Chains A and B, each alone.
Chain A
Amino acid sequence: MHKILIVGEHDGKSLNPATAKCVSCAVTVPDAEIAIVVLGSDTAAVAAQAAALSGVKSVVRLDRAENAHPLAATFAPQVAALAADYTHVFGPSTSFGKDLMPRVAALLGVAQVSDLMAVESAYKFRRPTYAGNAIVTVEADASRKLIATVRVASFEAAAGGGSAAVETKSLSVALPAHTRYIGAKSGSTDRPDLQTASKVISGGRALGSAENFKLLFSLADKIGAAVGASRAAVDAGYAANEMQVGQTGKIISPEIYIAIGISGAIQHLTGIKDARTIVAINKDGEAPIFEVADVGLVGDLFQIVPELERLIG
């Protein structure tokens, strides 16, 4: 029997969908019992959401004032202490999980499998390296605890309808005072979240300016899509950092990805390979983006995008 603990990601109000994707990954481990831990100052609401995920046996609440913000230095010793009761600890491969999980692994003196994309057996997994250009199968020692981050783009979110038991625990773990949360600035919009949106429209350097990105926002709002950007567009200041899609930005798996004026550098393609349908619009018919696109259209984006918006209506 494998006991898998998933570290739930949330903002205090709602559970991040990345957690439900970790559950879908965990259920593919043979003979597994799945628990979710949520850390916060008051996790009642998110614990209830976690308990409703299908396939989850139990939910552990770790509520204390110090957990109000997700600081890795604060969370890691608590997760490491709780890990004593489990064989596996999974977290999402989001900025939250990437920050936290290696610290947990090191406290436990074990390695971490990053960006787990497929489970071959309880201790054998597939993961991407070299910007997704080499997929490595790695095997870990079954006698040691297994820590992993789950590549959320590789898994569908677990369904609801579950009714796991919720338990509040208090661990006597000393927490460091050397790291303090100051604040956050989110580029929040009314648009869907880029990481979890089913439709994504992305722009590249060919947009030419931040002003021109409004073309994409307008189209996105018409079809209910999130807006992303290539690294080139972000570097040029046309789009905000958190919009970057690719090896070092967000790895996403929408139903439809519309790449506009994006040539398709390897590092960008890494971030979109799991999209169900890729549409590419580019004036250069030789652009590498067309090699991965399901539907391609060669032409001037400044004519195509407004026309697309009109015809969709």
Chain B
Amino acid sequence: MQKILVCIKRVVDYNVRIRVKPDGSGVMLDGVKMSVNPFDEIALEEALRIKERLGNVEVVAVSIGVGETQQQLRTALAMGADRAILVQTDAAVEPLNAAQVFLALAKKENPDLIFLGKQAIDDDANQTGQMLAALWDRPQATFASKVELSDAKAQVTREVDAGLETIEVDLPAVMTVDLRLNEPRYVKLPDIMKAKKKPLDVTTLEALGVSHGVFLKAVKTEPPAQRQKGIMVKDVAELVGVLKKKGLI
């Protein structure tokens, strides 16, 4: 194990209550707090723990996005990544395109492992890791809740609908992480200072030989339908009465 790539996305912070633009062209992003996608933080944390356990492993944080994405990569460096690469573009990058970019980086960097969050909390697509694994022609272990490495293999416990499933994959491999894999560390001030000196390379889609593609055109964005306001009952007897009347119990 020599190198781990961790793919990071800049997204609207988990705690922000997003609002849809009145003209239906998207969601309001002006002045909204942006953060590292929470699942990607877990992905990075796992890479850092492997590095701390095995030593001599380089952890590279990579991202695609606007210039300000450097902030999120600096956070990754402060958490403990050794260096970072930003593929800078102002265009929206869909999962297939992102996978093509990460493939280009994988071919350049030759990592043993690539970690990603299982989904980004903005588009909720849950695609990029699987697509990257397919394009790279390597194994995928999605929704990982436990990762055990041995030689050139890994045993991964996955969170599936029925419970837990364990698979074994040869390395190099792509892993997408689920919530309960670990709890990411907090960044301390000295680490933020140290992170400023770590290398952060900026490159472009063109330099990587990837063309920007629009595969799905967003026609319109709307707020969800609201549920009708309900009723309050005063006690259990009344509750049971209402539910029986509706034929629910």
Contacts and interface: CB of A to CB of B under 8 A. Distances in A.
Interface of B: 12, 17-18, 20, 26-27, 39, 94-96, 99, 118-119, 121-135, 137-140, 142-143, 145, 155, 158-170, 173, 178-180, 215-224, 227-228, 230-237, 239-240, 242-243, 246, 248-249
A136 B99 contact: no
A111 B128 CA distance: 10
A131 B130 CA distance: 21
Nearest to B165: A184
Contacts of B166: 182-185
B124 A112 contact: no
B240 A312 contact: yes
Given A135-B224, A195-B161, A114 B127 contact: yes
A140 B214 CA distance: 9
Tier of interface size on chain A: 35 or more
A-side interface mostly: mixed
A27 to B, nearest CB: 22
B179 A248 contact: yes
A12 to B, nearest CB: 13
Given A98-B126, A103-B134, A106-B135, A242 B248 contact: no
A172 interface: no
Interface string A85-111: 000000000111011111111110111
A44 B132 CA distance: 34
A311 interface: yes
B95 A111 contact: yes
Contacts of A187: 162-163
11 contacts: A133-B223, A134-B222, A134-B224, A138-B217, A139-B217, A179-B140, A182-B155, A186-B164, A241-B145, A256-B248, A299-B235
Interface in A152-205: 176, 178-188, 195, 199
Contacts of B224: 128, 132-135, 273
Contacts of A307: 236
Given A129-B123, A138-B218, A277-B248, A250 B164 contact: no
A297 B233 contact: yes
Nearest to A312: B249
A99 B233 contact: no
Given A102-B128, A134-B27, A184-B162, 15 more contacts: A72-B130, A99-B130, A106-B130, A106-B131, A129-B124, A130-B12, A134-B223, A178-B139, A178-B169, A180-B169, A199-B248, A279-B239, A292-B227, A298-B232, A311-B240
A278 B228 CA distance: 11
A157 B132 CA distance: 32
Given A114-B127, A277-B246, A294 B94 contact: no
Contacts of B163: 184-188, 240-242
A21 B63 CA distance: 36
A75 to B, nearest CB: 12
Closest CB pairs A-B (n = 9): A111-B215, A106-B134, A102-B130, A106-B131, A186-B163, A102-B127, A294-B230, A182-B166, A95-B160
A140 B236 contact: no
Contacts of A103: 130-131, 133-134, 140
B38 to A, nearest CB: 9
A103 B127 CA distance: 8
Contacts of B216: 111, 113, 138-140
B239 A242 contact: no
Contacts of B180: 234-235, 241
A278 B133 CA distance: 40
A282 to B, nearest CB: 11
